[in-house]
């Protein structure tokens, strides 16, 4: 199961774990993904999307239809 947001495209990035003695080891930073069901009124159906919480906040603010419209405008 991939850890990529289906709407915003956020994915894991790499970085370092830094100890108290300043030793560095590689690690991953994962996006905060949630499975969420949305109702599409235009198509009269429910869809399940794996979405990041930051995208979820934007959807709650603008609405799903407006968010998808903005993504199309940006070319994503």
Distances in whole angstroms, Cα of residue 37 to Cα of each of 14, 21, 28, 48: 29, 45, 27, 4
Confidence class for position 76, pLDDT limits 50, 70, 90: low
Tokens of 49: 């999307």
How high is the pLDDT of residue 42? Answer: 85
Query: Is pLDDT of 1 > 70?
Result: no
Q: Is the pTM of this model over 0.85?
A: no
Domain range 13-74, its CATH number among 3.30.310.40, 3.60.9.10, 1.25.40.10, 2.30.170.40:
2.30.170.40
8-60 residue pLDDT tens = 999 999 999 999 999 999 999 999 999 999 998 889 999 999 999 999 999 99
Say how many CA atoms lie within 13 Å of 29 toward its Cβ.
Answer: 6
How high is the pLDDT of residue 41? Answer: 86
How high is the pLDDT of residue 9? Answer: 93
């Amino acid at each position: 199961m991939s850890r990529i947001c289906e709407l915003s495209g956020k994915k894991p990035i790499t970085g370092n774990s830094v100890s108290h003695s300043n030793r560095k080891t590689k690690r991953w930073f994962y996006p905060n993904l949630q499975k969420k069901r949305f109702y599409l009124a235009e198509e009269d159906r429910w869809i399940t999307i794996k979405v990041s919480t930051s995208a979820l906040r934007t959807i709650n603010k603008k609405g799903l239809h407006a968010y998808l419209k903005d993504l199309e405008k940006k070319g994503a």
